[in-house]
Amino acid sequence: MLYRAQDKQGTSRLGYAESADGIHFTRRPEPVLSPEAEYEKDGGVEDPRLVKIKGTYYLTYTGYNKKDAQLCLATSRDLIHWERKGVILPAYKGNWNVAWTKSGAIVPQKIQGEYWMYFLGTSADKTDQTGIATSPDLIHWTEASALPVLPRRPGEFDSRVVEPGPAPIVTRDGIVLIYNGADDQLIYRTSVAVFDRHDPRKLLWRSDQPIFMPEKDWEKVGQVPNVVFVEGMARQGSRYLFYYGGADSYVGVAEAPALK
């Protein structure tokens, strides 16, 4: 597992932990990714999303310098040693996203000859929504839609924030994206959307209600209250394990039956 942790000054780093059963983890004492580049200084490295393609791990993360947050990329063969590839979707330069970029969820296979990635951008109305980008090589990315592909829904549980979660699952019926939504009170809940497997820009379905929400005390009380925020996912036999942040203070795990 890669996870985000903060020091007493509020600077974020990414830690590494191992588990034999997916539930009980042992942490490596030192972080595996710390802020070094100018676009990471003071704020740190946050929002890790991980996918393995052809023997290489691709890590999308937010580089935050206390001024701007931008979607960045690093690669590794062992999850310990990382090579930075820089900012892949710069802030303030999108088609519709006019401010920060974060939270890249890469589809783990090529579709129509390209790789695809769902990401968070900020629209002109200052809400955060999900866009999409393409790449020929997983390193160089270009925004691929004029509008968000998973927009916010006014008055609903995802009226303020629509943010990609873990790497999507490609099934015969579509591309399944777990996402995190927040309402106008910034209560975060988790939901699911399905996109066309032949055109990842095309939304086929999204749930009317969240599938996961804050219930435990440690999900309701913390650095940011009332938050469950799924960022990691692993299949274990007949179930999926979902790894999530609780109130921006803890890492939790939830399970659900695997797709058939």
Q: What is the pTM of this model?
A: 0.96
- The answer to whether the CB of 105 falls within 8 A of the CB of 141 is no
The yes-or-no verdict on residue 260 having pLDDT over 70 is no
CATH number, domain with residue 175: 2.115.10.20
DSSP 250: E
Structural domain count, the chain = 1
Residue with tokens 């740190």: 44
Q: What is the mean pLDDT of residues 190-205?
A: 98
pLDDT digits (tens, 9 = 90+) for 198-252: 999 999 999 999 999 999 999 999 999 999 999 999 999 999 999 999 999 999 9
Q: What is the mean pLDDT of residues 27-47?
A: 96
Please return the burial class of 112, using the count of CB atoms within 10 Å of its CB with bins 0-12, 13-18 and 19+: exposed
Q: N- to C-terminal Cα distance for the chain? A: 25
pLDDT digits (tens, 9 = 90+) for 76-112: 999 999 999 999 999 999 999 999 999 999 999 999 9
DSSP 212: B
Instruction: Please report, for residues 36, 137, 185, 188, the alpha-carbon distance to residue 157 in angstroms, rounded to integers and kept in the order given.
Output: 37, 35, 9, 8
The yes-or-no verdict on residue 258 having pLDDT over 90 is no
What is the domain range of residue 156? 2-257
The yes-or-no verdict on residue 259 having pLDDT over 80 is no
